[in-house]
Amino acid sequence: MTIRPSSDLLPALQQLIRPIDSHKGLYGSVAILGGATGMIGAALLAGRAALHLGAGKIWVGLLDERLLVDPTQPELMIVAANQLLKQKPSHLLIGPGLGQSKQAIELLHSALMSSLPLVLDADALNLIAQEAEFKSLLHTRAAETIITPHPAEAARLLQCPTKAVQAQREQAVKTLSKDFCCHTILKGSNTLIANQHEVWINTSGNSALSSAGQGDILSGIVLALLAQGLSAIQASCCAAYLHGSAADSWRKKHPNGIGLTASETFLLVREELNLQLNLSQEHC
């Protein structure tokens, strides 16, 4: 079914409206695992997106331990990747800039074994595709789990050509959700979101999102919404729609759609979220 902002999104987003006597502890203490050498930016982008979309506290666990602070976003708490789970986060995202080193494999095993609600992206998915044990751990997780593959990552998980995924996207997203007992966001034009029973089609978004880091932004948004109380399917559908709608608004000012960066996008998504929250209050 097509995601409809008025009936699908607004009731979910109303859960995000904050009471006067609120504090950061009410909105999740989220953790992001990734950022190997040369790919720190991916983890930071996900963290910045989670921050701007309302997560209460954010730890970023980096495999490359040389960075001690994000100079443009000091609100993020930077720790060594192997110390991250000791912070006792409420929700976990693993994958942005993770790489496929021995340490990455060990961290992914710990994430899959944890009881935390989990978002899996990028190299976390590539490692799962290579290891039968990881597939089994993913299938048997009790906590809510969301995977966010692009078509090539989906093809690796399904052990088929990327062209086959693109030719039958709805079947692919259904199979991923069923085989791994999780929620799936199959990215691309008309992103598909599925649980084990239904499929939603997101019609927002455009080619301006064809730039580096946009997947990291989307996973950070999903993490933030999940941490603020939305269900896995609600967080997935709302994140996909808001991400795409922000790009649609940007393209009205830039009709050729060239040059939208990931660092700009999470700010636009924050604007879109607050606009939708205003609309949700008007419908109350």
For residue 197, say whether it is annotated as part of any ligand binding site: no
Q: φ, ψ for residue 86 (rounded to 5)?
A: -70, -15
For residue 207, say whether it is annotated as part of any ligand binding site: no
For residue 188, say whether it is annotated as part of any ligand binding site: yes
For residue 187, say whether it is annotated as part of any ligand binding site: yes
Q: φ, ψ for residue 62 (rounded to 5)?
A: -100, 135
Question: Which strands sit side by side in the sheet containing 77-80, from one edge to the other?
Answer: 77-80, 57-62, 29-34, 91-94, 118-120, 145-147, 183-186, 192-194, 199-201
| Among candidate residues 269, 186, 224, the one with its CA nearest the CA of residue 47 | 224
For residue 215, say whether it is annotated as part of any ligand binding site: yes
Instruction: Say if CB 204 and CB 9 are below 8 A apart.
Output: no
For residue 190, say whether it is annotated as part of any ligand binding site: yes
Q: How many CA atoms lie within 13 A of 167 on its CB side?
A: 5
For residue 123, say whether it is annotated as part of any ligand binding site: no
User: Regarding beta strands 145-147 and 29-34, do their DSSP bridges make them parallel or antiparallel, or are they unpaired?
Assistant: unpaired
For residue 256, say whether it is annotated as part of any ligand binding site: no
Q: Which residues pair with 273 in a beta bridge?
A: none
Instruction: Say if CB 27 and CB 54 are below 8 A apart.
Output: yes
Q: Which residues pair with 33 in a beta bridge?
A: 61, 94
For residue 191, say whether it is annotated as part of any ligand binding site: yes
For residue 189, say whether it is annotated as part of any ligand binding site: yes
- 3-class SS of residue 200: strand
Summarize the annotated binding site for (6S)-NADPHX as residue ranges.
42, 97, 150, 216
- Binding-site annotation, residues: 42, 97, 150, 187-191, 215-216
Binding-site members for AMP are 187-191, 215
